[in-house]
Structure 1
């Protein structure tokens, strides 16, 4: 006898940062303007933000960024979009007919609006929103959450909406990234393993701190050890802190890769402007490693799930030059998850857990949290 159990229809909205429509200067300028005018990305009042972005950054940075995007571009287009559509297709196949998977980009195309329109009027009982950023930050996941709420509030019927805040500590995520890295560690020996995360202004981290203790040690030792101490463990007070989550990601990956503490370093890239950003800075760290005699370095970018300008060009090429100029001999970037089957399995696990179709793995996700 056939089962009469009702299986709710669930929408799955996956959202990545975005990309210009093409690598030419006008398209790059449009992308930069939309991206940097987001008040969660550049968190200053509207008028100075408007003048900064439209009068200075997009004017002078767009031509330079266009040249970098041209290095990254393929015949099929931007890698982040290519992998995005592949993930959308593969995840849909993995989840089956009871789910509708839709890809959106926070900036440019396909927009979050277009992605949500695919889910609208489908009679969905819930939508699971997964910003494709492993660690939560207001400027990334928080911006996606805000955009979705702004759009969905206009719907006549709003389904149950569940936002995934972060997934850096899902066992499937750690396993997927570690397995990609292991092939390089098996092929050759490395003197050090670097984990480079996208940077943020320190003020954004402090804004999200309800305890008043975030980065306090930085006043005594602003370069490395003082700041590292406040993120040495992940606990109830810093659980939502981007920097603390990045250090926790490194610890989880180092454990999966069977690396010792003195074999790994966590650092932060892509700083912009004169205000202090999260430290230690990747470029400074690379130079120090070379000066200390580290000749072979393996580099991870665990804040990105798809290869893009910040991984392929910045970490893979620009930092390689910095390392070699400082005396290093071999620099190897570990590629992102892209459309790896293990990544699809990770996303499926995230969806099923948040759809309450399988028990939450509390034991696995609580190993990095200390009360």
Structure 2
């Protein structure tokens, strides 16, 4: 159990992380702070530079057994934080407005508990992953050659959930977070004088046609495997002048599906629509994929482990609000291990994620750490050898 002094120190550390946010792929100082906090806990090994800026701490027992990985995220958002608490962001234009500072602190709290009482068998890995917000971090971690040496059998993560009662857990089998993919579309024609637009090739009619055509690709809801959605997130036409008819347009659309294989079909349909419209309007087109997130699918056997821990701790649990349309790159870890992501309620009046007013509730630190510790000890504490999930 965490002591009062633990909670004071961990809260201060969380607030320090909150003051110095770093965005995806730039988390060097955050990673250094995490590594420096881990070393005094005496893990078997601390690995840095994991998948970029990631940090992994391994707590190994003297007996063979499963490897259980718990994951948190290092990155913040390129969103300015509103003036608020004394520990508000000191970095202009950036803020820990998704709670990753709290997720990291929960893993450090788990590290303290493991340092005081070693698991009876197997290994626990605390993985501090970079670049979750742009969807690249989990893939980079799994692609790191050292990940094959860790080879977790089980992987668990949590995400705080504003709007859910404080401390309540949201949990479900199967889909928990949808797949999504950002598509940046550039339409190129030819500029002209605004007085003689007929001498150029404007992408304006094509842009006006594409916005409703892509949006119309949506159908169903996230409770159905057939769910898909296309959201226009940005559009720009030409330059902000009055004398030039535009020759270029930029369109960003986010595609969303309930299953990974459905994403390929939706992307192909969007590609065909964009290509057809561009050709009919005499434009050239280029498309790039960004922020590519796999679906997060909870394995039933991993969910059962989480549910058993919640029952033992008396933590309330609900499936309300799940699955979510929002994406999470945690799904990549489930390709090679039994995995489960659960939501931890941040309170019904907590500002939403990515809101300039958001701040992670420190009261969640001991709750999240207790749940993770119970999962680890149920799997590795020697009471029973858990069967490895099918791969």
**TM-score under structure 2 length normalisation:** 0.31
Which of the two has higher C-alpha Rg? 2
